[in-house]
Chains A and B, each alone.
Chain A
Amino acid sequence: MDSLSIKIIGLGGIGSILAEKLARFLNFTSDQKAEITLIDGDEYEVKNVERQEFSTLGSKSLVKARDLYEKFKDLSIEHNNSYVSIMNVHDIIKDGDIVMLAVDNHKTRKIVSDFASTLENITIISGGNELTDGNIQIFVRKEGRDLTPNLTAYHPEIETPADKLPSEMTCEELANSSPQLFFTNLSVATIMCWAFYNVVTLKKVDSSEIYFDIGIMKTDSKFREVPRAA
């Protein structure tokens, strides 16, 4: 059986939780071998403590890689201390990868989605949230054909992002990010695990986007058609 190549991009409130839970599943439950690469150019700082899970301060990708390596000896853990950009996306994402995208800006989602659409085989499970609600998108492409819509298809806010990459933001902009709730990050990470289990483990692709809203205590799963090429 082929080894899974999993790229976790973004190790903030969602990614730092997701990495731990996914690694536990892959180490103890899944019968597939897996290599996990953790990608984030950010540092874990004291201000992150209320929502993010790391054992010590420092480079997020390195600290989390060490944390996972100590706990999950059957996995191969790599780390990459950089932000994804249009310059490096082709070095980070390879054909056949499973990308768990947990970033905090639409511009990175757009870069990853556009590049993924040029590959033959790729799976992207992308999560994001506002204060109490969020969504998880599932983009699966097999043998050059989209099985589900890419991240930009029905989301003009991702197709034409109004925000900036982390590498483009000033320290002041980074410090002034809007408040988030740990429970919402946790919900996104959990539903990304649902999506991983269905798409990767069970090989079922019967949903393309899942929404949840803590405020009304509901989830809803959608399957949307792949738009026809213009």
Chain B
Amino acid sequence: MATSNFTRATLSEKTVPELKQIATNMGIDGLRKIRKDDLIDKIMRAQTSAARKAKRVPASDGKTSIKTTKAGGKEDGVYSSFSANVKTPTGDVKTTIKVSAGAASGNFNVLGKTVGAVAERLREVLNIAPGSTALVNGRAAGSDHVIGAQDKVEYVRPAGRKG
């Protein structure tokens, strides 16, 4: 997980949905019916923990390197175990992947995860309909597809019925 640098004051200015997205990016679970103050506490704790534990993996030559870390104070789970840095030809370091469902989208730390696991993890955040067709780079992908650094992931939202 990439380390973040939020202050408590910065987090306090954000809305609960924004905080939930930050928390999700950090691999924090248990976000249902959580109060804003508790959410901020979790993010601050996860940030401190990640800063202590994460050791950046040298990224070079455009190759993906994946390092196992703990995140969000949680040992197991979909988001808790991977951190990835990808150095692009322009030298940027990429750690997140665009995931969308309908108009909702976000950049999430899902490198190395399967499409099926990510759907379960982001179901509430992106309002992913059960049984949605998963696409990777515009092409149908099975639930066991492992998400790579160049992927864009979409869960097809069912078409609107009314008119």
Residue of B nearest to A162 (CB): B161
CB-defined contacts of B135 to chain A, threshold 8 Å: 154, 224
CB-defined contacts of A188 to chain B, threshold 8 Å: 160, 163
Residue of B nearest to A103 (CB): B163
CB-defined contacts of B139 to chain A, threshold 8 Å: 224-225
Residue B62 at the chain A interface, CB threshold 8 Å: no
With beta carbons under 8 angstroms apart, the residue of B103, B154, B163 that contacts A133 is B103
Contacts A133-B103, A225-B139 given; indicate if A178 touches B162 (C-beta within 8 A): yes
How distant is A137 from chain B, measured CB to nearest CB, in Å?
A: 7
Interfacial residues of chain B within 135-163, with CB under 8 A of chain A in the complex: 135, 138-140, 154, 156-163
**Contact present for A154 and B156 (CB under 8 Å):** yes
Residue B133 at the chain A interface, CB threshold 8 Å: yes
CB-defined contacts of B140 to chain A, threshold 8 Å: 154, 227
How distant is A154 from chain B, measured CB to nearest CB, in Å?
A: 5
How distant is B9 from chain A, measured CB to nearest CB, in Å?
A: 25
Q: How many B residues have CB within 8 A of the partner chain?
A: 20
CB-defined contacts of B161 to chain A, threshold 8 Å: 104-106, 128, 130, 163
Interfacial residues of chain A within 168-207, with CB under 8 A of chain B in the complex: 177-178, 180, 185, 188
Residue B100 at the chain A interface, CB threshold 8 Å: yes
**Contact present for A213 and B102 (CB under 8 Å):** yes
**Contact present for A128 and B162 (CB under 8 Å):** yes
Residue B104 at the chain A interface, CB threshold 8 Å: yes
**Contact present for A222 and B154 (CB under 8 Å):** yes
With beta carbons under 8 angstroms apart, the residue of A129, A157, A212, A218 that contacts B162 is A129
CB-defined contacts of A64 to chain B, threshold 8 Å: none
Interfacial residues of chain B within 10-63, with CB under 8 A of chain A in the complex: none
A219 to B159, CA, bound (A): 14
Residue B105 at the chain A interface, CB threshold 8 Å: yes
A213 to B157, CA, bound (A): 12
With beta carbons under 8 angstroms apart, the residue of A14, A128, A220, A223 that contacts B102 is A220
Minimum-distance CB pairs A-B, first 8: A128-B160, A213-B103, A129-B160, A104-B163, A134-B160, A211-B103, A211-B102, A218-B103
> Interface on B for A, CB 8 Å cutoff?
100, 102-105, 131, 133, 135, 138-140, 154, 156-163
A-B contact pairs, 25 of them (CB 8 A): A12-B163, A13-B162, A102-B163, A127-B163, A128-B161, A128-B162, A130-B162, A133-B103, A151-B159, A154-B133, A154-B156, A155-B158, A155-B159, A156-B131, A156-B133, A177-B162, A185-B163, A213-B104, A218-B103, A218-B104, A218-B105, A220-B102, A222-B138, A223-B138, A224-B139
